[in-house]
Structure 1
Amino acid sequence: MYILGIHTGHDAGACLFADDQLLAFCKEERLNRVKNDGGFFDLQSIDEVLRIAGIDRLQVDAVAFTRMKFPVSCFRIGAVPIRDVRRKLLGQRRDRSLGSLMNRRRNLDAGAFLDLPKLRRHMGLRSDVALQFCNHHRAHVLSSLRYCDWRDDVLLVSCDGGGDGAYYSAYLYAGQQLHEIWGGEETLLGHPQNGGASIGLAYAFATSACGFTPNRHEGKLTGLAAFGQPAVAARIAALFPVDENGHIHGELPDSKALHRILLEFFQGLAKEDIAASIQIATEQVVVAWLQALLKKHPAKFIAMSGGVFANVRLNQLVAALPGIEEVFIFPAMGDEGLPVGACVDYWIASQGMARLTRDRLRHLYYGRPYSGEDLLSTAERLRFRVERSGEHVEKTAQLLADNHIGAIFWGAMEMGPRALGARSILASPARREVNDSVNKRLQRTEFMPFAPYVLDVDAERLYEVDARNRYACRFMTITTRVKPEWLARIPAVVHVDGTARPQIIERASNPLYYDILDAFKRITGLPTLVNTSFNAHEEPIINTPEEALRALADDRIDFLVCDGGMVFPAGR
């Protein structure tokens, strides 16, 4: 059974499952090159994931949507406002949110709003294709449930800037069943959560107050926070009281009121102090929320999803909670991961929870796969200098040891916001100045050091990695303390608080990436390398050989390495 998953909001994208096995994933921005793009129905990423799997739309058996935007032409007359009826009758292109109509009418039946046969025809699907419309937070939670293998005592939570009337959700997995605690369908059936009590929205408002773009630059505040004082953290945290049931209601009436009071709090503060204040407040609120949930619903394991859990410092605190044996953060924790959870939701609805495979992710390489030959032959055609040699691993390691900046182009691009060795820029961690030089070449303004990657056999030697965080460290979703003896030896990857955000790599998942670091370790004695995303400022991570070569031509990097060889600028 082929299940196509689609989300069209911000961070739009698609994925494809065969039964409950993920085959392909693509975020829309990687194709149209518009950062965080979304808000429209006709996505290029739909056909991209089908091409990756080698099928077409007529072979799809089910489509799992979020309650997203659909073409007005596919809505029933009477289900949409008059202005949209006119557009429908005139055949004008416009998309309208299904979720907002469901919320307004308190009706979760998609067929009451959408002409489902017409939607199938619009998409070029068979008439018997099953259609599923998944709750936003349930999709978040199910994405993390699918990829953790804990059999009992699992607390699953999501937290973000909002979806389907909720900002928080919590479930308990016990007795082989998923039990809703808070933030499920009741949020659309009369009990929507209060936007004035959303810590996710508060972080977005703080991001804007610092002059950055919400839903894109929150990570900048996480890094900037270490350089400021949490002057108003206590006042912010007080806006989000947690009750004994693990609910956060607050006294502010709505998100507009929250925005106004935060602007008052931030008046006269430096950006660093705003960042420190919202970071500490977020940590306090979310940790208090989880503690309340754990007190009422004891669990040994925590699975996290939703954009708030892109906050790697917060995730480190969650892993340190008493009694927690392991944590997992779904690597595509933001809305780009919703298609995955929607497919899982359809599988459970059609096959039952007992038939859901629950195993661990081994890698995130689910984009269109490119070979080393794809890069090398394209480079030759575009007149770059190409070296086809079996010595490319050793030469790459030596160039990195000599403080050159390279990038690896290997296989399929990664699912999620992190570059994890398929589309990564590599550098030596031995000099702190490398951060400034690379950021200058990439036209970035960053406040955190670059993240490192480390071989599986060396992880515990450099970083405070243990059973609680090792799985999360495979995907660079959590910070850890750096061992004291390494702080001065790898300054480019150590933050001012002595932490780093490591990726642990096993050779089976990416041999080229692994072997480059292994060779670098032999040459320098340093068992870790800088890994930062292969993209320039405000651009999505590169996808194709042509994009990688354009970065090389623009002097973003000194060389490219792939299976079978290396590429250098012409004349070098």
Structure 2
Amino acid sequence: MYILGISYGFVATVVLLKDGKIIACASEERFNGIKNYNGFPQKAIDYCLFEAGIKGKDLDLVTTPYTNLPPSHFSLDKKKNPQDKSLLSRLFLVGGIVRKIFRVARYYFPNTLRPPGQISYRIVVKLLSNYYSKNQKKQISDYLKIPASKIVSFDHHLSHATCAYHSSSYNQDKALVFTLDGEGDGECATVNIFEGIKHRVLSTTPREHSIGYIYGHVTKFLGMKPHEHEYKVMGLAPYAKASEVDKVYSKIKNFIDFDKDDPLKFVTKRNAQDFDIFLRKNFLEVRFDNLAGGFQRLVEVKIKEWVEKAVKKTKINTVILSGGVFMNIKVNQVVASLPKVKRLFIMPSCADETGAIGSSYLGYLMLKKNKNTLPIEPISHLFWGPSFSDKEILGKLKSIKKKVSYKKVKEVEGVTAKLLSKSKIVANLSGRMEFGARALGNRSILANPSDPETIKVINEQIKSRDFWMPFAPTILAERQKDYLVNPKNIDSPYMMMGFNTTKLAQKEIKAALHPSDGTCRPQILDQSFNPRYYKIIKEFEKLTGIGAVLNTSFNIHGFPIVLGTEEALKAFLSSGLEYLVMENYLITKK
């Protein structure tokens, strides 16, 4: 049984499920080079079908993770989305101008204008959504040459929750599943109980009370891109002085509360989409790091309280997190620290891209009802993208031999480790490409984590990163106790959680820690997860005594993580990288 899950919108993504197991998954941005691409993921569809050796006609079902498709998921930019030329879409943009005027009025008269504003928005979006959903379904149907009856849409937050629960190793146990994002299908947060194939929604929060939108407004207010640079706000927060953070927090701590009748439902004093007005009125003269620190504390405090309330109410101590707000690894660290949370799973790359996975799971469960099919298999890795053979790599190298020198080496892991031990920076491309926002060793830039000079080199010569942003380590599983404070032994193979660190870490892997608070976002690596990558670090450990490396994604500023040989060589030649390893080839510049 083949099911194709397709997520339009930010970081458009496609997944192919075979008998309940993911066999291919990739985001369109990797193929077209447009970071966070928003639109029809044609090349990702082609890749997934090619990987399985099937065609559209062989699919049992195609799924999408929205029942009311947000118009923002379509662009008038013909390069991004040539399908969208309609008068209706242009009228929506005109309506957006009217809506901006209404937002200002609603901010000053919230009790009068907020209710009718919510109702009118839902009506307009429903009408537009019907049009866009039909357009989307036709586009998929035409491209795959399948009847429209094979295309099914599922609720956005249910897709998030189902994705996280069934991807976890707890997917036969009773678990509390939280979803939290900007919005999807009119909601921004849900609390759910899952047990096997059974599922119950305990609470939902409407979009107008969205913590995700509030954090997005802060991101934009600080001069960064919402939906993309929220992680930079989180990274900036620890630099602020506690006393200054207190001042900001005291002004905003009551902006988000909980509903009196439903204590698991968030309530904001004003519509979260109007929060930019609040920021301009109150924080124009507040320093950027202090603002980041205050709002980071706000989301940590409120989400902590939210999870505590749900655990106390249900007496369930297995907690699962999904949705874009849970890309905030410091929030996740706070949730992990709660005494009553005994087991925790955070869906890797849990923003909208994993909606494709969740909707495919829901489609599989729907078709499974009357058939003897296998259960959904928990994920054990994220290596679902393309791979490239030595033969393909050699062919590409020969075509640019005037620009590079290369040689095939027998013990490539040992050679890589030796370069790292000499504080050389090495880009690595090997095996199948990892899915998601985090590089997990197969499309990574690696460095010596004990050498702070590597930070400057990577920032200035390779990636053009903001100076305040920390790097992250990959730590051998057997060495995690040497470097991490992890009393609950929470697994972290996907870089989805922050940890406090030991004194030894602050000596041996200081280049991979946050410079201000000494925390880190580690990938804890078991040998079975990625044997080749594990061997590189093990060989590095033999040479240096350090059981970790600095790991950052293999891409240059403004571009997605590299797909394969062509993208890797382009990034290599256009940056200050000195060494590139592609499978068994070591490459340098002439």
Change (3 A) 1:357 1:182: same
Following TM superposition, by how much is the alpha carbon of 1:222 offset from its aligned partner in structure 2, in angstroms? 0.9
Structure 1 residue 34 corresponds to structure 2 residue 34? yes
Q: Say which SS state the counterpart of residue 339 (structure 1) adopts.
A: helix
- Label 1:372 to 1:238 Cα distance change in 2 as closer, same or farther (>3 A): farther
Q: How many pairs align?
A: 538
Aligned to 1:77: none
Runs of 4+ aligned residues of structure 1 deviating over 6 Å after TM superposition are 69-72, 105-113, 353-356
2:499 matched residue in structure 1: 480
Q: Aligned-pair distance for 1:61?
A: 1.6
- In structure 2, C-alpha distance between the alignment counterparts of 1:568 and 1:326, rounded to whole Å: 45
Equivalent in the alignment of 1:247 = 265
8 Å contact kept, 2:180–2:190: yes
Give the drift of 1:304: 0.7
Unaligned runs of 5+ in 1: 73-79, 88-99, 184-191
**Does the 8 Å CA contact 2:428/2:446 hold for their aligned counterparts?**
yes
Matched with 1:454 is: 475
Find the partner of 2:232 among 217, 220, 225.
Answer: 220
Cα 1:137–1:406 shift into 2, 3 Å: same
2:510 aligns with one of 466, 491, 508: 491
Paired position in structure 1 for 2:283: 266
Q: Tell me: CA distance 1:558–1:175, structure 2 relative to 1, closer, same or farther (3 Å).
A: closer
Give the corresponding residue for 1:76: none
Task: Report SS of the residue matched to 2:345.
Answer: strand
Q: Alpha-carbon deviation of 1:328?
A: 1.0
What is the letter of the counterpart of residue 311 of structure 1? N
Q: How does 1:310-459 map to 2 (within 5 A)?
A: 310-352=327-369, 357-383=375-401, 384-441=404-461, 442-459=463-480
Higher mean displacement: 123-132 or 267-276: 123-132
Query: Whole-Å Cα distance in 2 between the matches of residues 117 and 476 of structure 1?
Result: 35
Q: Which residue of 2 aligns with 1:193?
A: 206
Q: Distance in 2 between matches of 1:521 and 1:50?
A: 40
Match in the other structure for 1:557: 577
- Deviation (angstroms), 1:563: 3.0
Q: Which moved more, 1:52-61 or 1:331-340?
A: 52-61
Distance across 2 between alignment mates of 1:222 and 1:562: 33
* 8 Å Cα contact 1:409-1:423 kept in structure 2: yes
Unaligned runs of 5+ in 2: 76-83, 92-119
Alignment-mate amino acid for residue 220 of structure 1: K
Could you tell me the percent identity over the aligned residues? 28
SS at structure 2 position matched to 1:469: coil
Distance 1:257 1:115, change over 3 A: closer
Which residue does 2:96 correspond to in 1? none
Structure 2 CA distance for partners of 1:456 and 1:256, relative to 1, 3 Å? closer
Per the TM alignment, residue 399 of structure 1 is displaced from its structure 2 partner at its CA by 1.0
Give the letter for the 2:255 counterpart.
L
Determine the C-alpha separation between the residues in 1 that align with 2:387 and 2:426: 20
The 1:175–1:66 alpha-carbon spacing in structure 2 relative to 1, beyond 3 Å, is closer
Deviation at 1:105, TM superposition (A): 8.0
- Find the aligned partners of 2:19 and 2:158 in 1 and give their Cα distance: 19
Name the structure 2 match of 1:90.
Answer: none
Pair 121,225 (structure 1): closer, same or farther in 2 beyond 3 Å: closer
Contact 2:193 2:201 in 1 (8 A): yes
Question: For 1:499, what is the secondary structure of its paired residue?
Answer: coil
Contact in 1 for aligned 2:166/2:376 (Cα 8 Å): yes
Letter in 2 for 1:193: P
1:260 CA drift (Å): 1.1
| Aligned 8 A contact 1:156 1:303 in 2 | yes
Matched, 1:60 2:59: yes
Q: Match of 1:3, as an amino acid?
A: I
513 and 103 in structure 1: CA distance in 2 versus 1, 3 angstrom threshold: farther
CA contact (8 A) 1:35 1:538 kept: yes
Q: Would you say the 8 A contact 1:223–1:448 is kept in 2? A: yes
TM superposition shift of 1:447: 1.8
Sort the Cα spacing of 1:284 and 1:113 in 2 relative to 1 into closer, same or farther, 3 A: closer
Displacement after TM superposition at 1:44 (Å): 2.4
> Which amino acid letter does the alignment assign opposite residue 320 of structure 2?
A
Task: Say which SS state the counterpart of residue 25 (structure 1) adopts.
Answer: strand
Please, what is the CA RMSD of the aligned residues? 2.9
Residue aligning to 2:6? 6
Pick the structure with more helix per residue. 2
Q: Quick one: distance in 2 between partners of 1:294 and 1:107?
A: 38
Q: What is the CA deviation profile of residues 39-85 of structure 1, one whole-angstrom value per residue up to 9, with x for unaligned ones?
A: x336322112212222222222210013336999xxxxxxx999449
Mapped to 1, the partners of 2:329 and 2:74 lie a distance apart of 37
| 1:243-298 deviation line (CA, Å, top 9, x unaligned) | 4531112231x234322113323220111111111111110111111112222222
Partner in structure 2 of residue 95 of structure 1: none
What TM-score do the two structures reach when normalised by structure 1? 0.87
C-alpha displacement at 1:182, in angstroms?
1.9
Are the structure 2 counterparts of residues 518 and 14 from structure 1 closer, same or farther at C-alpha, using a change threshold of 3 Å? same
Match of 1:235 in 2: 251
Task: Answer whether contact 2:27 2:41 (CA < 8 A) is retained.
Answer: no
Checking the alignment, whether the CA contact within 8 Å between 1:331 and 1:415 is kept in structure 2 is no
User: Cα–Cα, structure 1 residues 55 and 276, in superposed 2: closer, same or farther, change >3 Å?
Assistant: same
The match for 2:311 is 294
Distance, in Å, in 2 between the alignment partners of 1:81 and 1:411 is 40
Inter-CA distance 403–542: structure 2 relative to 1 (3 Å threshold): same
Deviations 1:4-48 (A, max 9, x none): 11111121121111121111111111111111110x336322112
Asked if structure 1 preserves the Cα contact closer than 8 Å seen for 2:20 and 2:376, the reply is no
Which residue of structure 1 aligns with residue 99 of structure 2?
none
CA distance in 1, matches of 2:288, 2:233: 9
Assess, with a 3 A threshold, how the Cα gap between structure 1 residues 117 and 207 changes in structure 2: closer, same or farther.
closer
Q: Secondary structure at the match of 2:571?
A: helix
Contact 1:159 1:306 in 2 (8 A): yes
Contact 1:319 1:468 in 2 (8 A): no
AA partner of residue 234 (structure 2): T
Instruction: Classify the secondary structure of the residue corresponding to 2:540.
Output: helix
- The C-alpha deviation readout for 1:311-344, integer Å capped at 9, x for no partner, is 0011011011122112111112011111000101
Secondary structure, counterpart of 2:179 in structure 1: strand
**Kept in 2: contact 1:31–1:44 (CA 8 A):** yes
Distance 1:292 1:138 in 2: 21
Partner of 2:44: helix, strand, or coil?
A: helix
Inter-partner Cα distance in structure 2 for 1:303 and 1:85: 37
TM-score for both structures, normalised by structure 2 = 0.85
* Distance in 1 between residues matched to 2:89 and 2:527, nearest whole Å: 56
Amino acid at match of 1:276: G
* Distance (whole Å) between structure 2 residues aligned to residue 545 and residue 481 of structure 1: 37
- Residues of 2 paired with 1:277 and 1:105: CA distance? 33
Aligned match of 2:184 in 157, 160, 163? Answer: 163
Distance 1:466 1:342 in 2: 35
SS of the residue 2:507 aligns to: coil
Question: Which one-letter code corresponds to 1:341 in the other structure?
Answer: G
**Residue 531 (str. 1) matches residue 551 (str. 2):** yes
